[in-house]
């Protein structure tokens, strides 16, 4: 059963998010809403192309369509790939009127979005998220980027899409490990901004594990609404938007230490959120009963709450590179109750080490 829904993001460049729509209906929407489109550039991964390109293209008989295929992997969010996309786009005659369609997960959304933001000084683009993480998180908010040897997402732009077009049926082929990455961000959204979503996740744990489609529609819609709300209050991340980084200061340190190989983003966020929760508990910000609920939900969904054999001192040092830090001071996001979080600027290294020690199995 498809639940069709439309949400409006009223940022500096407003756009709509459509949920529960079909890939094959995007062509008719673009023709009706935008008119005058002659050329589409679809950027996608091989596996996503295999499963979904035909359905998408069926709706595009009115347009010239070219497909640019990018190998999977975080390493493809690079300047080298951006340069290759540029050559390919020029070769197929893309001009200022072309529209980029990002068909895939967060890697494709970030890469194709950044490409669209700089190609001929900016051409239009559409997000068509096909992973849970992209549906609940990365396709919303207008952040696009590529990585650089000096840091993740170091080169990027705030570049909102024309529209986000979410077909839930794409989740059917998504491997469970990838689903877990999206679930980690969903739990994060619930902890930082929606106590009712948290209860919904608690109640429906088994249905989530059983991958019941209706439950995913509901959790996606509620989860992305947390992000939409926060982003609309602070589009350019000057304050409140930092809350969305709950778990990420700790999580990025784990990912960097493993050179983005040994630990997925979702697992990093999951363990990072637990470390932040322990730190909040040690400060008396959150009750032990709420800490237990967070631990139980994360564990119950099959996400990790601990990690083996890491050196807390090294991880503490890696946290110094966090983009949120200001004037050498670590900026952390801590939950003070389920459904609410705070930006904390005065955490000392000792407290952070204690939190690391609680999530590291010696």
Ligand X SMILES: NC(=O)c1ccc[n+]([C@@H]2O[C@H](COP(=O)([O-])OP(=O)(O)OC[C@H]3O[C@@H](n4cnc5c(N)ncnc54)[C@H](O)[C@@H]3O)[C@@H](O)[C@H]2O)c1
Annotated binding site: 106-110, 130-131, 143, 152, 170-173, 185, 248, 265
Catalytic residue, from 252, 267, 310, 324: name it. Answer: 252
Q: Name the residue nearer to ligand X (CB basis): 119 or 278.
A: 119
Q: β-strands 5-9, 15-19: how paired? A: antiparallel
Contact 72, 18 (CB under 8 A): no
Which residue has its beta carbon closest to ligand X?
A: 106
Q: Name the residue nearer to ligand X (CB basis): 127 or 285.
A: 127
Q: Is 252 noted as a catalytic residue in this protein? A: yes
| Residues counted in the chain | 362
176 contacts: CB under 8 Å, gap ≥ 6: none
Binding site feature residues for Zn(2+): 185, 248, 265
Q: Is 248 noted as a catalytic residue in this protein? A: yes
Q: Is 147 noted as a catalytic residue in this protein? A: no
From 78, 88, 174, 99, select the one nearest 129 (Cα to Cα): 174
CB of 103 to ligand X, least distance (A): 9
Q: Is 185 noted as a catalytic residue in this protein? A: yes
- Between CA 353 and CA 362, with CA 359 as vertex, the angle to 5 degrees is 90
Q: β-strands 151-158, 143-148: how paired? A: antiparallel
Q: Is 245 noted as a catalytic residue in this protein? A: yes
H/E stretch holding 176 reads helix 176-193
Contact 86, 53 (CB under 8 A): no
The site for ligand X (CB under 6 A) is made up of: 45, 47-48, 51, 72, 74, 77, 104-108, 110, 130-131, 133-134, 137-138, 141, 143, 153, 170, 173-174, 178, 181, 265
Contact 11, 142 (CB under 8 A): yes
Catalytic residue, from 121, 238, 327, 362: name it. Answer: 121
Q: Is 75 noted as a catalytic residue in this protein? A: no
CB of 163 to ligand X, least distance (A): 16
> Which residues face 358 on adjacent strands?
none
Q: Name the residue nearer to ligand X (CB basis): 51 or 283.
A: 51
CA-to-CA dists, residue 62 to 11, 29, 40, 59, 95, angstroms: 30, 12, 10, 8, 17
Q: Name the residue nearer to ligand X (CB basis): 202 or 237.
A: 237
Secondary structure E strands in the chain: 5-9, 15-19, 39-44, 64-69, 99-104, 124-129, 143-148, 151-158, 163-166, 307-308, 332-337, 340-344, 360-361
Q: Is 47 noted as a catalytic residue in this protein? A: no
Q: Is 188 noted as a catalytic residue in this protein? A: no
CB of 139 to ligand X, least distance (A): 8
Catalytic residue, from 147, 178, 245, 310: name it. Answer: 245
Q: Is 24 noted as a catalytic residue in this protein? A: no
Binding site feature residues for NAD(+): 106-110, 130-131, 143, 152, 170-173
DSSP classification of residue 150: T
Over its C-alpha atoms, the chain yields an Rg (Å, rounded) of: 20
| Alpha-carbon dihedral sign for residues 270, 207, 224, 97 | positive
Catalytic residue, from 81, 241, 267, 310: name it. Answer: 241
CB of 111 to ligand X, least distance (A): 8
Q: Name the residue nearer to ligand X (CB basis): 59 or 141.
A: 141
Catalytic residue, from 222, 248, 324, 330: name it. Answer: 248
Catalytic residue, from 77, 81, 143, 222: name it. Answer: 143
Q: Name the residue nearer to ligand X (CB basis): 89 or 179.
A: 179
CB of 292 to ligand X, least distance (A): 28
CB of 361 to ligand X, least distance (A): 25
Q: Is 323 noted as a catalytic residue in this protein? A: no
- Give catalytic residue positions: 121, 143, 185, 227, 237, 241, 245, 248, 252, 265
């Amino acid at each position: 059963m498809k639940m069709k829904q439309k949400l409006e993001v009223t940022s500096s460049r407003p756009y709509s998010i459509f949920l529960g729509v079909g890939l094959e209906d995007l062509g008719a929407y673009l023709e009706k809403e935008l008119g005058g489109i002659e050329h589409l550039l679809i950027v996608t991964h091989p596996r996503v192309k295999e499963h979904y390109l035909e359905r998408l293209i069926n709706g595009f008989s009115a347009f010239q369509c070219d497909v640019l295929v990018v190998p999977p992997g975080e390493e493809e969010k690079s300047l080298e790939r951006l340069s290759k996309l540029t050559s390919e786009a020029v070769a197929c005659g893309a001009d200022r009127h072309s529209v980029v369609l990002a068909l895939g997960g967060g890697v494709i959304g970030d890469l194709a979005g950044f490409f669209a933001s700089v190609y001929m000084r900016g051409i239009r683009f559409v997000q068509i998220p096909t992973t849970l993480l992209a549906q609940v998180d990365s396709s919303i908010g207008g952040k696009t980027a590529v990585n650089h040897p000096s840091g993740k997402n170091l080169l990027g732009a705030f570049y909102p899409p024309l529209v986000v077009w979410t077909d839930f049926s794409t989740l059917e082929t998504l491997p469970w490990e990838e689903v877990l990455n999206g679930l980690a961000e969903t739990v994060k959204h619930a902890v930082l901004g929606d106590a009712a979503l948290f209860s919904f996740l608690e109640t429906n744990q088994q249905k989530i594990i059983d991958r019941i489609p209706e439950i995913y529609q509901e959790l996606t819609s509620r989860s992305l609404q947390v992000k939409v709300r926060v982003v609309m209050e602070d589009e350019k991340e000057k304050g409140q938007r930092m809350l969305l980084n709950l778990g990420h200061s700790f999580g990025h340190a784990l990912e960097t230490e493993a050179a983005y190989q040994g630990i997925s983003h979702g697992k990093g966020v999951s363990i990072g959120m637990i470390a932040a929760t322990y730190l909040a508990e040690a400060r008396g910000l959150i009750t032990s009963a709420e800490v237990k609920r967070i631990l139980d939900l994360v564990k119950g969904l099959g996400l990790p709450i601990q990690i083996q054999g890491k050196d807390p001192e090294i991880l503490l040092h890696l946290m110094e590179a966090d983009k949120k830090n200001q004037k050498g001071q670590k900026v952390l996001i801590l939950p003070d109750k389920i459904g609410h979080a705070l930006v904390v600027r005065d955490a000392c290294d000792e407290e952070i080490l204690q939190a690391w020690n609680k999530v590291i199995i010696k």
